Structure 1
Amino acid sequence: MEPVFSSLRLLLGLFFMLTGAVKFSDCHTPAQVYEHVKALVMKLAEVLPLSLLGYEPDPEDLLIIIGWLEFISGLLLAMGPPHLQEISTIVLTLLTLGTLYSLLMLREPVASYAPTVLCLGVLTMLHAHACYIL
């Protein structure tokens, strides 16, 4: 069963590395894809619960911060040691929960939740498996 979880960690890590790279590198991605992601993050920044704490993040900075967090966490999830994989699973789970919250607040169509919910389910499964092993 361990090869299955190792494969899931590798694939999910590569997925988050790719999505993170799209967010922070506008010169290496097609302009159309970057603009779509940028527009989505602009909308998500409006409903983030950080405003309740009195912090209004700049959407451009938020795009770069989330991109780097996803990229580094994805890298650690795919190729890091077990303890760092667990930390990256927690960070990616929190980012995914923030995305899901934002999609719910924006009342996006249910079909747009599918990738987020799928990633959240796999991350939860990886976290539960790591807790069982450690």
Structure 2
Amino acid sequence: MALTSLRVLLGGFFALTGLAKLSDQISEPLLEQMKVLFTQFAEVFPLKVFGYQPDPVSYQVAVGWLELLAGLLLALGPTMLQEISNLLLTLLMTGAVFNLISLRESLITYVPAVICLGLLLLLDICQILVPTKKLVRPSRKTT
């Protein structure tokens, strides 16, 4: 029950933050702040060393859609898609922490990303350690 609650809460949180990156319906000032952040994130993008630097607006939209869809699948999807969503969101949060380190932001800025990353890893570890119930179907014996 606790794992399900954590999964649904995390999924809802990521869906909401993804929506905030895509639309000004949540908060227009937040969307403007995200545009500034993603301009900075594009400057320290990990693949920049290989010559690829994303457009900040496209980068923001891609991350927003990934958070929205992966969050919804984490909260409401079947088990296999929940695991894939958890992996994608873990990679996304790892990238966010990398970007914040590269930008030399203050430690307080790291807190949300590190907490989300920790909760995603906790959810992943608990799903591995806690055995899931397998559906046992009765065999049909012919007499």
- What range describes the TM-score normalised by the shorter chain of this pair? over 0.9
Does structure 1 residue 10 correspond to structure 2 residue 8? Answer: yes
Give RMSD over aligned pairs.
1.1
Aligned to 2:128: 131
Q: Report deviation, 1:125.
A: 0.7
**Sequence identity, in percent?**
46
TM-score (norm 1): 0.93
Q: Distance in 2 between matches of 1:17 and 1:57?
A: 23
Q: Distance in 1 between matches of 2:118 and 2:10?
A: 11
Offset from partner CA, 1:89-111 (integer Å, 9 cap, x none): 00000000000000001010000
Name the one with the larger helix percent.
1
Alignment gaps of 5+ in structure 1 = none
Q: Secondary structure at the match of 1:29?
A: coil
Q: Distance in 1 between matches of 2:39 and 2:127?
A: 34
Q: Which consecutive segments of 4 or more residues in structure 1 shift more than 4 A?
A: none
Q: Report deviation, 1:53.
A: 2.4
Segment drifting more, 47-56 vs 68-77:
47-56
Aligned to 1:122: 119
How many residues are treated as equivalent by the alignment? 131
Q: Secondary structure at the match of 2:26?
A: coil
Q: Name which one, 1 or 2, has greater alpha-carbon Rg.
A: 2
Q: Distance in 1 between matches of 2:98 and 2:27?
A: 28
Q: Distance in 1 between matches of 2:78 and 2:126?
A: 15
Q: Distance in 2 between matches of 1:130 and 1:52?
A: 36
